[in-house]
Amino acid sequence: MTKESLTITDNRTGKTYEVPIEHDTINAMDLRKIKVNEGDFGMMSYDPAFKNTASTKSTITYIDGDKGILRYRGYPIEQLAEESNFIEVAYLTMFGELPTQQQYNEWEYEIRHHTFVHENIKQLMEAFRYDAHPMSMFISTVAALSTYYPEARNISDPQARMKQIVRLIAKVPTIAAFSYRHSRGLPYVYPDNNLGYTENFLAMLDKMGQTDYAPNPILARALDVLFILHVDHEQNCGTATMRVIGSSHSDPYSSMAGAAAALFGPLHGGANEAVLRMLVEIGDVKNVPDFVKGVKNRERLLMGFGHRVYKNYDPRAKIIKRIADEVFETTGRNPMLDIALELERIALEDDFFVSRNLYPNVDFYSGIIYQAMGFPVAMFPVLFAIPRTVGWLAQWVELLEDDAQKIARPRQIYLGKDTRDFVPMKSR
């Protein structure tokens, strides 16, 4: 029988330590007992960018990066994308189980009836410059919501928490749509609570005063599936930020603004925008080999490729590639798709990418669909943030209910100057 522990010999002292193993992991605090002498602080682990450090136990999302598997609460992403809808997946992610019909109806009703924002929020958004990036507007407006709901600071009250969760999930499409209308110089369209989640979002984007406006059902379903795919992805940069800010007991609006800010970066959720800009720059399939040469010469990154966890095809990218065909039947084919397919073909045959396990990630094809649907490139990160709101909030609740969690506070290895005496200006 194997013993669930690790035996560590410190060659500096010859001492041996036994460290328990749980879930293939050792507790970093157990290393602290490894000391050269009694006054020694004890050993730490060094892990910039948390490449091999679990910061939490979680029951929300499972990823097997080598096999390309993604599950929410145990349900494969492929089945959820095929058979469920965003509101149901949001319930599942938040509460851990699929809803009964009654639970679904109540949840859907709650979300549907919290879509409006205070008129001052609208005025606040109107104050942004005409060319403000929609994601910057989104981040700032989510943060501003905390000024409207001071009770949100009562994070230890589950009822108060749930109120903010419903508000956030319901209001993010409204804020996103307002940011889009602002960037287009168009009047903001109020939510229509007769419409479902995705349809209402599309209406707030598109409506031009028609009384008979009806969103295209194929595009609405495609967007709903894209939302499902983006709900959660365990401890990525944005979610880790949500947890770090939440660990100081900030209100959920402030924490989520931080998470969205992390998502904005081009290495994370901003990659969908960066992919499209890259495809536009390549311009033509014939320019792909030269571009790939530049990537291999380390002049730039192939945006939408590579992932910290997936060392295989991102399962979300596979589903998105399939949806693309359905969307293009309605919108017409996006010419950028040919460039993307050629990039993928060349990259997946090239040793540079194969040896580093660089495959298309979720952002490689999503932007092509968003663009075909008529979204400007700057809206892409906002489209990521809407569904990720659910994941951020589910992870935030899990954090607050986890007794093992405390304020996040990493250590450092100090390599600066040793103590030295201050030198007055005239003597320097």
Question: Active-site residue numbers?
Answer: 268, 307, 363
Q: Say how far apart CA 102 and CA 99 lie, in whole Å.
A: 8
Choices 126-134, 189-197, 207-215, 294-302 (CB under 6 A): range interacting with ligand CMC? 294-302
Does the footprint of ligand CMC cover residue 93 (CB under 6 A)? no
Which of 89, 152, 362, 397 touches ligand CMC (CB under 6 A)? Answer: 362
| Using rule CB under 6 A, residue 318 touches ligand CMC | no
For 278-340, the three-class secondary structure string (H helix, E strand, C coil) is HHHHHCCHHHHHHHHHHHHCCCCCCCCECCCCCCCCCHHHHHHHHHHHHHHHHHCCCCHHHHH
Which of 19, 301, 400, 408 touches ligand CMC by CB under 6 A? Answer: 301
Q: What's the min distance (Å) between Cβ of 394 and ligand CMC?
A: 16
The residue among 146 and 272 lying less far from ligand CMC, judged by its C-beta, is: 272
Whole-Å CA distances, 123 to 127, 140, 162, 175: 6, 13, 27, 12
Q: Around 183, how many Cα atoms within 13 Å sit in the side-chain half-sphere?
A: 19
Does residue 271 bind ligand CMC (CB under 6 A)?
yes
Q: Residue 427 carries which DSSP code? A: G
In which element (H, E) is residue 341 found? helix 336-349
**Choice between 268 and 318, CB closer to ligand CMC:** 268
Q: According to CB under 6 A, which one of 35, 118, 122, 268 is a site residue for ligand CMC?
A: 268
Shortest CB 367 distance to ligand CMC, Å: 11
Please identify which residue in 108, 224, 232, 363 interacts with ligand CMC, judged by CB under 6 A.
363
* In the block, residue with structure tokens 């969307």: 327
In the numeric block, the tokens 């809206």 are attached to: 379
Asked whether position 306 contacts ligand CMC by CB under 6 A, the answer is yes
Kindly indicate which of the ranges 7-15, 139-147, 207-215, 361-369 contains the residues binding ligand CMC, using the contact rule CB under 6 A.
361-369
Least separation in angstroms between residue 296's CB and ligand CMC is 8
175 binds ligand CMC (CB under 6 A): no
Does position 202 interact with ligand CMC (CB under 6 A)? The reply is no
Specify the residue, 30 or 363, whose C-beta has the smaller distance to ligand CMC: 363
Strand pairing category for 25-26 and 61-64: unpaired
Least distance in angstroms from the C-beta of 218 to ligand CMC: 25
Length of the chain measured in residues: 428
Q: Which residues contact 342 (CB under 8 A, 6 or more apart)?
A: 285, 288
Distance CA 222, CA 228 (A): 10
Burial class of residue 321 (count of CB atoms within 10 Å of its CB; 0-12, 13-18, 19+): buried
Least separation in angstroms between CB 271 and ligand CMC = 3
Task: Decide if residue 358 touches ligand CMC (CB under 6 A).
Answer: yes
| Residue 295 CB, nearest approach to ligand CMC (Å) | 5
Q: Is residue 155 part of the contact set for ligand CMC (CB under 6 A)?
A: no
16-37 burial by CB neighbour count: b if 16+ within 10 A, else e? ebeeeeeeeeeeeebeeebbee
Selected range binding ligand CMC among 58-66, 135-143, 262-270, 389-397, rule: CB under 6 A: 262-270
Is residue 276 a contact residue for ligand CMC (CB under 6 A)?
no
Give me the least distance between CB of 358 and ligand CMC, in Å please: 5
The answer to whether 303 contacts ligand CMC (rule: CB under 6 A) is: yes
Task: Give the largest CA-CA distance in the chain.
Answer: 81
Positive or negative torsion for Cα 351, 354, 358, 359: positive
Please pick, from the candidates 6, 54, 267, 280, the single residue that binds ligand CMC as defined by CB under 6 A.
267
* Binding-residue pattern over the window 222 to 241 for ligand CMC, x denoting contact by CB under 6 A: -----------x--x-----
Neighbours of 190 (CB within 10 A): 16
Binding residues for ligand CMC, rule CB under 6 A, total 20
Using CA atoms, how far residue 327 sits from 152, 189, 219, 292, 384, in Å, is 39, 25, 6, 28, 18
* Residue from 427, 333, 390 nearest 173 by CA: 390
By CB under 6 A, name the binding residues for ligand CMC.
Answer: 233, 236, 267-269, 271, 295, 301-308, 356, 358, 361-363
